[in-house]
Amino acid sequence: MIARNTPPKERKIDKYIEIVTIPIAINSTEDRKNVGIELDEIAIFKILSKSYEKVIITIIETKKDLENLISRKPDLVFSGIKYFDFDEEEIWLSDYLREHDIYYITSNKEALNSEYDKDRAKEIVQLANINTPNFFTTQPNEHPKESSLPITFPLFLKPITGEDSRGINSDSIVFNFINYQTKVLDIYDKLQSRTLVENYLSGKEYSVSILENESKNTLMILPVEIIAGKNKNGHRILDYDAKINNLEEVIAVTDQELHKELCDVAINSFRALGGKTMGRIDIKTDVDGILHFIEANFMPGLGHGYFYRSFMLNENITYEQMILKIADAGLMANTVLKKIPLVDEKILEIDYFDAKSTLIFQANN
């Protein structure tokens, strides 16, 4: 008889995670504003179950369901839900969990509202001395003459809220007042939204993913460049069709100095807006190559979009590894948010690797 040594099974982490969602929408076109991330719950369940002792999926339909979740006291809630509406009572999940000392993976209500309103986000980053295009908001007939516009053409127009570049198309870049009026009316009629108007930047476009692990005192900051195809007018913009159909090209940022500058703008914007655990900062350059904050997303998609591709291109991290890193960061997060200052060489030691690798900030204690 020959004895064979069987390698021991890797021990699972003794933590209890609940993946929280809501019932599937009856109408596939329904705009679920209370959902920040549309999760593939089954895929995430399979990934987390390999590493954690107890993982379950919970569907919340009533306030009682939410109260039962609290009574079970999971170590982490992994969810893309912003808030619940129970008989006209609005309960924000992240804040509710924090009140009951349960860890979660997203930012709080204040930060989520700050980044969701694009004009508000721009005001906040401006106060933090971060470049952003000049802007104003409007609706039909609010600025009746060209002379009443606070900034000059060319302009870029989009809804003040919304994701996936909804409302953005080839008509979003305007060079005259007639086209400006037409686009403002189009956004108002189709999306029932005010319009954010900003100076058009003709430079390159970048997205920077951030994953923060407070316990380990580290931030993964992962820039990528996004190259959109030219539209019918010869402009490269990330419109709704390009994002939905993945028509853009995403590449690594190989220039080390640019990599550093993108990381600085991203983390300063993340901090200014009160981000926690994870997020994505969109940045664009003007004709002179100056970086400008465009918008933030603190509930980035966890499919195979920009957030995941940032991990893959910068660190060669698989999708499974990314999900596990998010769960680990959520479990390690402090329930009481710390006020962490903006990047300053006196405050943070910065360790730069090669241009393609992650930038990690290690805070001094």
Sheet with 173-174: strands ordered across: 135-138, 195-199, 155-159, 173-174
Cα distance from N-terminal residue to C-terminal residue, the chain: 58
Q: Which pLDDT band holds residue 53 (cuts at 50, 70, 90)?
A: very high
Collapsing DSSP states into helix, strand and coil, what is residue 284? Answer: strand
Q: Which residue has the tokens 């402009």?
A: 235
**pLDDT tens, 6-26?**
555 679 999 999 999 999 876
| Token reading at 129 | 């001395």
Q: Which of 156, 171, 190, 109 is nearest to 295 (CA)?
A: 156
Q: Which residue has the tokens 């339909």?
A: 61
Q: Which pLDDT band holds residue 5 (cuts at 50, 70, 90)?
A: low
Residue 223: phi, psi to the nearest 5?
A: -80, 145
Answer with the residue of higher pLDDT: 220 or 359: 220
Other C-beta atoms closer than 10 Å to the C-beta of 71 total: 8
**pLDDT tens, 289-326?**
999 999 999 999 999 999 999 999 999 999 999 999 99
CA distance 14 to 17: 10
CA distance 223 to 317: 14
Give the chain's mean pLDDT. Answer: 88
DSSP bridge partners of 78 = 19
